[in-house]
C-alpha cells in the first residue's frame, strides 16, 4: 500500500507538470484565484488530521539521535545553500530554487513511511518531522535571508514570510489536530481512511507544479533540455551527499560519545535519522515562493527543479530501504 501511495504521488506530480505544459489556460486561471495557497493549506489540514501524537513519547529515549537529526535538517543543509548559489547557471532560478529547497524542513509523510518500511523507529521519525516543520516556521525565513537573500543582493521580507508560514502551515496543522482530538468520530474516520487522505494530499500537491508550470510555460519551453538534465543531476548528487553526511556523522558520534553509543548505533534509530534528516519538503517551499512574489525570480522556474528533487529523493530512498530490507533478510537467514 505504501508503494502504491508513492506511485500515486509521482504520477500526480508528473501529471500536473504535463497538464501545465499542454494547456496553461486553466492553470493560469487557478493562479488568478490563488488556488495553490488553498492547496497548501489543505495539505497541512490533512497532516493535522492524520497526526497521531501519542506515538511521540516513544521517541524520548532516542533524544540524542533526534537532536542530531534536527540540527542536520535546520542548520547543516541550509548552510549548504550558500555554496549552491555560487554555481553559475542559466536559468538562474533553477539553482536558486534548489538552494531554497536546502533551507526547508523535512517531508511531511514520506520520511515516516519509508522509516516504517525500513524497520526504523517511526516514533523518532514522526517526532523529527513534527518538530522540524514547526521550528521551520522560524528557521526558514532566517536561513533564506542569510544564505540566499544576501548572496543575491535581495532584501527578503523576513517578518512577512514568518507571518505567511504561520498562516499557511501552523494554523491549518492546528485546526486539523484540534478536530482530531476533540472528535472521536473524526479521528476514527480519518484512521479508517488514511489511504484516501494520502491520495487527496497527493492531488493537492499536484496542483503546485500544474499552476507553476502553466504560469511559466513560455519560459520553460525556452530552456534547453541540457539545463534540465544538469539541474536534476545536481539535485540527485545533493541528496546522495546528505545521506552520506548523516550516515557518516552518526557513525562518528557513536564512536566519540560512549554514553550515547547504544542510541546512536541502534539500527532502528540510525535509519530513522538518515532518512528523515536527508529529505526536504515541497509544500513549504511553495508557500515560501508564493509569499516572495518573484523577489528571487520567476516562480515556476524556482519550483520545477524542486519538484524533480522531491521525486528523486523518494526514489533514491526507496532503493536504499529495499537494500536495507534485503540485508536484514540475509542476516536473519544466516542466523
**Domains of the chain, first to last:** 13-322 (1.20.1530.20)
Cell output for 192: 479508517
pTM of the model: 0.90
Q: Are 72 and 243 in contact (CB under 8 A)?
A: no
Q: What is the pLDDT of residue 4?
A: 46
- Is the pLDDT at 25 greater than 90? The verdict is yes
Instruction: Give the whole-angstrom CA distance, residue 75 versus residue 86.
Output: 19
> How far, CA to CA in Å, does 210 sit from each of 23, 51, 205?
10, 27, 9
What is the pLDDT at residue 270?
94
Question: What confidence tens digit (pLDDT) does each residue in 156-212 have?
Answer: 888 899 999 999 899 999 999 999 999 999 999 999 998 899 889 888 988 988 998
- Picking from 262, 221, 269, the residue whose alpha carbon sits closest to that of residue 247 is 269
Q: What is the pLDDT of residues 115-157, one digit of tens each?
A: 999 999 999 999 999 999 999 999 999 999 999 988 767 788 8
* 10-14, 84-88, 204-208, 224-228: range with lowest mean pLDDT: 10-14
Exposure of 56 in the CB half-sphere (CA atoms within 13 A): 10
Sequence-distant (≥ 6) Cβ neighbours of residue 239 within 8 angstroms = 278, 279, 309, 312, 313, 316
* pLDDT of the residue at 7: 53
Q: How confident is the model at residue 258 (pLDDT cuts 50, 70, 90)?
A: low
Planar angle of CA 214, 294, 232, nearest 5 degrees? 60
Could you give the angle at the alpha carbon of 126 between the alpha carbons of 73 and 305, nearest 5°? 45
Rounded mean pLDDT of the chain?
A: 89
Q: What is the pLDDT of residues 264-313, one digit of tens each?
A: 778 999 999 999 999 999 999 999 998 888 899 998 899 999 999 999 99
For a pLDDT cut of 70, what percent of the chain falls above it?
A: 94
CA separation, residue 224 to residues 220, 228, 229, 231 (Å):
9, 7, 9, 11
What's the average model confidence in pLDDT over 97-110?
95
The CA-CA-CA angle for residues 32, 282, 24, to 5°, reads 35
Q: Which residue has the higher pLDDT, 225 or 198?
A: 225
pLDDT band, very low/low/confident/very high, at 9 (cuts 50, 70, 90): low
Contact 97, 299 (CB under 8 A): no
Amino acid at each position: 500500500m505504501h508503494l502504491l501511495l508513492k506511485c500515486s504521488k509521482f504520477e500526480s506530480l508528473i501529471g500536473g507538470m504535463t497538464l501545465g505544459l499542454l494547456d496553461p489556460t486553466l492553470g493560469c486561471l487557478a493562479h488568478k484565484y490563488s488556488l495553490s495557497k488553498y492547496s497548501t493549506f489543505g495539505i497541512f489540514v490533512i497532516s493535522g488530521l492524520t497526526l497521531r501524537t501519542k506515538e511521540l513519547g516513544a521517541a524520548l529515549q532516542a533524544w540524542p539521535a533526534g537532536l542530531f537529526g534536527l540540527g542536520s535538517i535546520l542548520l547543516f543543509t541550509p548552510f549548504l545553500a550558500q555554496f549552491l548559489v555560487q554555481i553559475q547557471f542559466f536559468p538562474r532560478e533553477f539553482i536558486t530554487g534548489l538552494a531554497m529547497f536546502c533551507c526547508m524542513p523535512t517531508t511531511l509523510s514520506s520520511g515516516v513511511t519509508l522509516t516504517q518500511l525500513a524497520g526504523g523507529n517511526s516514533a523518532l521519525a514522526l517526532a523529527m518531522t513534527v518538530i522540524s516543520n514547526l521550528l521551520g516556521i522560524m528557521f526558514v525565513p532566517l536561513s533564506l535571508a542569510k544564505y540566499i537573500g544576501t548572496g543575491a543582493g535581495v532584501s527578503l521580507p523576513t517578518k512577512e514570510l514568518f507571518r505567511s508560514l504561520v498562516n499557511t502551515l501552523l494554523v491549518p496543522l492546528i485546526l486539523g489536530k484540534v478536530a482530531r482530538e476533540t472528535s472521536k468520530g473524526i479521528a476514527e474516520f480519518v484512521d479508517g481512511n488514511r489511504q484516501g487522505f494520502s491520495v487527496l494530499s497527493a492531488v493537492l500537491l499536484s496542483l503546485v507544479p500544474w499552476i507553476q508550470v502553466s504560469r511559466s510555460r513560455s519560459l520553460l519551453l525556452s530552456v534547453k533540455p541540457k539545463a534540465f538534465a544538469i539541474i536534476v543531476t545536481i539535485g540527485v548528487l545533493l541528496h546522495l551527499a546528505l545521506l552520506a553526511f548523516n550516515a557518516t556523522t552518526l557513525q562518528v558520534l557513536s564512536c566519540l560519545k560512549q554514553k550515547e553509543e547504544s542510541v546512536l548505533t541502534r539500527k532502528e534509530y540510525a535509519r530513522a535519522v538518515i532518512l528523515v534528516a536527508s529529505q526536504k519538503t515541497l509544500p513549504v517551499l511553495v508557500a515560501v515562493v508564493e509569499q516572495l512574489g518573484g523577489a528571487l525570480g520567476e516562480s515556476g522556474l524556482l519550483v520545477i527543479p524542486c519538484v524533480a528533487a522531491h521525486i528523486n529523493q523518494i526514489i533514491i530512498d526507496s532503493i536504499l530501504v529495499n537494500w536495507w530490507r534485503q540485508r536484514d533478510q540475509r542476516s536473519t537467514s544466516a542466523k
